[in-house]
Structure 1
Amino acid sequence: MKILLTNFHNGRGGGHDTYVVSLARALAGRHEVFIGAPRTSRLLQHASAVADIRALPMEFPAKLKELGRFVGAIRELRTLLKQERFDVVHMNGSPDHRLVMLATLFASFKRPYFVYTKHNTIRVKRDFMTKLKARRATHHVIAVSQPAAKLLEGSVYADCGMSVIANGVDIDFYAPFDDALAARRREALLGVAHAGKLVVGTITGFDWYKGTMDMVAAVAALPEEMRKRVVLVVAGTEPNDAQREVIESLNMSDNLLVTGFTDDVRGYVATFDVGFMVSYAVESSSFACREMMSMGRPVLVTRYASLPDNVDDGVDGWIVEPRDTHAMTARLQIMLENRGRLCAMGLSARAKAEREFCNSKFIRETEQVYVRAAP
């Protein structure tokens, strides 16, 4: 089959990037795979580095008022679809879904099989454009979690075929570092100032819905003697000015290490004693949580969307209610008082990843959706 995977994000697309690249890498040996993404995107950069994947610079204007860009993008995509005759076009966001729909509206060529993945917990609109996307450019919808599937039930996509396919991770790539290498990474990152402290970290940055500022507040609420023994490590989006002011007001600057973006988070996860993923909006499923668990780290998560499905509370992580900083503080105290248990919990997290998170199931079930397009 000839497959086109699209994603609209400029720059870093987060979990969308991981999702698309994982599929493309796995399928490229059996199918002809193309990735369409903006020229400035990390996704296109990653796709260009893989020999068996064709990376196509594509723009997905988000605003209808950008009429000039819209017309040009529609024309270019229509030409591409007519020329390549894809069997499947798999879209991963509203802007690319909309553009594909407009490019194939009243097309004279045979339309491909359209697959759309619902990655988040944002409510499905019922406006004219969304109804048109469902009717004219959606043969099948993939929900990455049950909460995402619930949003699709009774929506304009209700008459489309639907599958719930959980995200998988490459458990061989996201494998625990050996103790010596992890110790060297930890020493290099923490230095003398934070040596011996409990390292609680995340690879999701400071985007508002990720809840990272809630964890900052939770550490700040620890008794002073305990607080001195904790350092937060955050990789990803850096705090904005308003968040930095809050960090300063909580006197948390000395308890926080912000590393910024990295293309390979494993070196940071190896420094963690515990991971955290405390989202309270938007998130549906989390690659980050599964990646940290795959690397042998217990993870604190919130009871939001499908996050708690990743964790057995008290076995390979902890579950708290969204935005409940008091509960987060209490769990931090438990971690500090029971540091000797964290290693065993990390082993349980890795065992869970090996049993349930391997991406082979995710790839196989997604490919089965594509096979329905085969003549």
Structure 2
Amino acid sequence: MKILLTNFHRDRGGGHDTYILAIAQALSLQHRIFVAAPATSRLFMQAGALPCVTTIVIDFSAKFKDLAKLPGEYRALPGLLERERFDVIHVNGSPDHWLVKLVMLAWKGARPRIVLTNHDSIRIKTARATRATYDVIAVSDSTAQLMRESVYGRCPVTVIKNGIDTVGRYAPRDPQAAAQQRGAFLGPRAGDRLVIGTVTGFDWYKGTMGMIEAVAALPESLRDEVVVVVAGVEPNAEQRQQIEALGMSGRVHVAGFVEDVPSVIASFDIGFVLSYAIETVSFACREMMAMGKPVIVSRYAGLPENIDDGVDGWIVEPRDTAGLSSLLQTIIAGRDRLPAIGARARERAVHEFSDERFIADTEEVYRQGGAARGA
């Protein structure tokens, strides 16, 4: 099959990037894979480095200030589709989906099968043209429910939860190597402290400030036992001021964007993903669990689908600082139990978060579409 994967982000696309790159790399051995994205995007640069993957520059203009570019994109896309005759177009966001749908309204030739993956938990409130959408992939059970209740409910909705490499990239590190990595990463700040970390950054909806507030609410003797590590989007000026006002400046390590995410996760004792908007099932949660780290998640969207509460991690209510702080006291008091809980998190990841299953199920959706198109 000839498959086009699209995304609109102009810099880092977070989980969108991880998702598309995983599919492109795995399926490029058997199919002709193209990735269309803005030239400034991380996705475009990393997809371009994959052997047997062809990259195409399309900005997928959506913001008002960029609408002047839309006519040119609208004219260019039909030429690309006519030239390449894709069997499947897999769209991963509203801007790229809209452009494909606009082109399909006037399309005269054989139609490619258009597959939409919904990567967020935003309820679809307005009617959208679905004529150019054949299949929907939902990355969590909760997302599937949203899609079935929307205008896309007329399409087949398949739940395919995000898969990760549990064998190589996201496997537990040797304890000695992990300790060395922790020391190199955090220096004297680590000591014997409980390292609570996330790789989701400080985006407003990720709930990272909630963890910092919960640690700040601990009794001073316990607060001194904890360091919070955050990789990803750095805090804005207001968040930095809040960290300082909470007296947490010396207890928060901001790693920023890092390419070697597993080495950062290796320094954690436990992980957290406390989103209260937009989130679906979270690559970050699954990556941390695969590396043997128990994870605290909020009871939001698909996050609880990753965790058996109290067995391989913990579930807290969104934005419940007092409840989270109380849980942290319990975790600190039972710190000797963390290795066993982490082992169960790893076991769950191996059994349920397989990238092989993720890729095979996605390819099956493509094959159904390709077979239908050929017929």
Q: TM-score, length-normalised on structure 1?
A: 0.96
d(CA) in 1 for partners of 2:341 and 2:263?
20
1:195-344 maps to which residues of 2 (within 5 A)?
195-344=191-340
2:148 paired residue number? 153
Which stretch shifts more, 268-277 or 185-194?
185-194
d(CA) in 1 for partners of 2:329 and 2:211?
13
d(CA) in 2 for partners of 1:223 and 1:268?
27
2:101 paired residue number? 101
d(CA) in 2 for partners of 1:24 and 1:188?
34
d(CA) in 2 for partners of 1:233 and 1:64?
37
The alignment partner of 1:225 has SS state of: helix
d(CA) in 2 for partners of 1:237 and 1:310?
23
Partner amino acid, structure 2, of 1:100: V
2:88 equivalent to 1:92: no
1:162 paired residue number? 157
- Among 179, 182, 185, the alignment partner of 1:183 is 179
1:124 paired residue number? 124
Q: Aligned-pair distance for 1:53?
A: 1.1
- Among 136, 139, 143, the alignment partner of 2:134 is 139
Q: Would you say the 8 A contact 2:313–2:345 is kept in 1?
A: yes
Partner amino acid, structure 2, of 1:303: R
Q: Would you say the 8 A contact 2:182–2:190 is kept in 1?
A: no
d(CA) in 2 for partners of 1:103 and 1:210?
35
Partner amino acid, structure 2, of 1:302: S
State the 4+ residue runs in structure 1 displaced beyond 2 angstroms.
Answer: 63-68
2:345 equivalent to 1:353: no
Q: Aligned-pair distance for 1:188?
A: 1.0
Which stretch shifts more, 191-200 or 201-210?
191-200
Distance 1:65-1:10 versus aligned 2 partners, 3 A rule: closer
Q: Would you say the 8 A contact 2:281–2:306 is kept in 1?
A: no
d(CA) in 2 for partners of 1:261 and 1:76?
34
Q: Would you say the 8 A contact 2:197–2:271 is kept in 1?
A: yes
The alignment partner of 1:192 has SS state of: helix
Partner amino acid, structure 2, of 1:155: S
The alignment partner of 1:97 has SS state of: helix
d(CA) in 2 for partners of 1:78 and 1:140?
21
Partner amino acid, structure 2, of 1:217: E
1:61 paired residue number? 61
d(CA) in 2 for partners of 1:363 and 1:194?
38
Partner amino acid, structure 2, of 1:149: A
The alignment partner of 1:323 has SS state of: coil
The alignment partner of 1:110 has SS state of: coil
Partner amino acid, structure 2, of 1:219: V
Q: Aligned-pair distance for 1:109?
A: 2.4
d(CA) in 2 for partners of 1:65 and 1:104?
24
d(CA) in 1 for partners of 2:27 and 2:286?
22
Task: Provide, for residues 156-195 of structure 1, a one-character-per-residue CA deviation record: whole Å limited to 9, x for no partner.
Answer: 1121121111111111220111112111111112211331
- Unpaired runs of 5+ residues, structure 2, are none
Q: Percent identity?
A: 54
The alignment partner of 1:158 has SS state of: helix
Q: Would you say the 8 A contact 2:138–2:160 is kept in 1?
A: yes
- Unpaired runs of 5+ residues, structure 1, are none
The alignment partner of 1:126 has SS state of: coil
Q: TM-score, length-normalised on structure 2?
A: 0.96
Aligned length: 370
> What's the Cα RMSD here?
1.2
Q: Would you say the 8 A contact 1:64–1:70 is kept in 2?
A: no
Which stretch shifts more, 252-261 or 326-335?
326-335
